[in-house]
Amino acid sequence: MIEIRPFEEDDNAAVRDLFVRVNRELAPPEMREAFEGYIQTALQEEIDRIEDYYRPAEGSGFWVVFLAGSFAGMFGVERLDQCHAELRRMYVAPEQRRKGLARHMLDHAEEFCRESGYEVLVLSTSEVQEAALALYRAVGFTLVGEETAEAQSNKTVGGGIRRFNFEKPLSP
């Protein structure tokens, strides 16, 4: 059974662990140092302050996912403006992949966005996230841009990694 619920402070260790594990798994050997820097930046600026960063009262949210009672994933929605929200931090634990969780997470995020009055859900992902790229295309996201991220931030590794920007109109 899949359970999706809003983030609670007690989830912080599991969220932090999954974020670090997945990003270390994604890091190509030649970019390990850049990924470690990114991990530290994102932990400090975002992951270790989920409740401040994703403020539900301001149109954002962060959820955790459980499968048969075990922590299995996480995702967030960040308000960009009145019409646009961004899907963020959608990660499925490696041992829980290929069970349909990502689609459930996307459905939940899209429903949240519709209920919040957003018209478009946007996201970005990198060239090293091949499964995510395939999923987003399969569920109706359209590629709207591509960039090479040089600077590191809490949203990107930088270091010349290619990022792909997608969007999906949300029907009422």
Q: Give how far the C-alpha of residue 98 lies from the chain's centroid of Cα atoms, to the nearest Å.
A: 17
Rounded mean pLDDT of the chain? 93
What pLDDT, in 10s, does the model give residues 126-140? Answer: 988 888 999 999 999
DSSP assignment letter at 61: E
Structural domains of the chain, ranges and CATH numbers in brackets? 2-124 (3.40.630.30)
Task: Say if residues 127 and 158 touch (Cβ distance below 8 Å).
Answer: no
What pLDDT, in 10s, does the model give residues 46-90? Answer: 999 999 999 888 999 999 999 999 999 999 999 999 999 999 999
What pLDDT, in 10s, does the model give residues 92-122? Answer: 999 999 999 999 999 999 999 999 999 999 9
The residue among 165, 121, 167 whose CA lies nearest residue 145 is 165
- Separation between Cα atoms, residue 1 and residue 108, nearest integer Å: 15
